[in-house]
Amino acid sequence: MNARLNMFDSPVAVKAWKHIIAAGKVLADASLPAATVELMRVRASQINGCGFCLDMHTKDATAAGETPIRLHLVAAWREATVFTDAERAALELTEQGTRLADGAGGVTDEAWADAAKYFDEDQLAALVSQIALINAFNRANVMIQQPAGGYQPGQYA
């Protein structure tokens, strides 16, 4: 299977996406726990059906020491006992921020208040930015049908 479009061969895509990638590098310096960020990326990618991003972020998370059981249970995080309250709040915010079209009013006040119990304002800004960023990557990869399975951990570091 080949992607519909090679984003690395398109001068327009390269120019546009270098800014999006740069945003990701800025967020890497935020004070969010790396495990929380990867769990959020996995959950948004599950919701959006982005196989390439699931491949990337599960492999990167595993390489960083994340456990298989937690990665397997991200889709059912509400029923799983392996996530912290802070991770649950981040996953809820991720789901609501990813499913904007599915929910009336977007992110609920309750979800925001729950996240604000565990994350300060800079971290909340980083959470919102991470959610927006992974959704952008998901949407692009789904549109071009970027194949999944061949990613190597750290490949795009």
Residue 142 clears pLDDT 80, i.e. is over it: yes
Residues 6 or more apart whose Cβ sits within 8 Å of residue 136: 20
Question: Can you spell out the DSSP letters for 73-123?
Answer: HGGGTTT-SSS-HHHHHHHHHHHHHH-TTTSTTSS-HHHHHHHHHH--HHH
Residue 1 pLDDT greater than 90, yes or no: no
Report the alpha-carbon distance of residue 153 to residue 157 in Å, rounded.
Answer: 9
For residue 4, the 8-state DSSP code is: S
CA dist 103 and 105 (Å) reads 6
10 Å CB burial of residue 73 (0-12, 13-18, 19+) is: middle
Is residue 8 situated within a structural domain?
Answer: no
pLDDT given at position 102? 84
Q: Are 43 and 139 in contact (CB under 8 A)?
A: no
Q: Is the pLDDT of residue 105 over 90?
A: no
Identify the CATH number of the domain in which residue 118 sits.
1.20.1290.10
pTM score of the predicted model:
0.94
Domain holding 76, by residue range, is 32-144
- 66 in a structural domain: yes
Do 134 and 53 meet the contact criterion of CB atoms below 8 Å apart? Answer: yes
Q: Please, which residues have CB within 8 angstroms of residue 48's CB and are 6 or more apart in sequence? A: 98, 135, 138, 139, 142
- d(CA 97, CA 130) in angstroms, rounded, equals 10
Q: What is the pLDDT of residue 72?
A: 97
Quick one: pLDDT at residue 21? Answer: 92
Give 67-88 pLDDT, tens digit per residue: 999 999 999 999 999 999 999 9
Q: What pLDDT sits at residue 119?
A: 98
* Average pLDDT along the chain: 95
12, part of any domain? no
Q: How far is CA 40 from CA 8, 58, 139, in A?
A: 26, 11, 15
Confidence of residue 157 (pLDDT cuts 50, 70, 90): confident
pLDDT at 146: 96
Is the pLDDT at 103 greater than 90, yes or no? no
75 in a domain, yes or no?
A: yes
Is 114 a member of any domain?
A: yes
Structural domain count of the chain: 1
Provide mean pLDDT across the span 38-65.
97
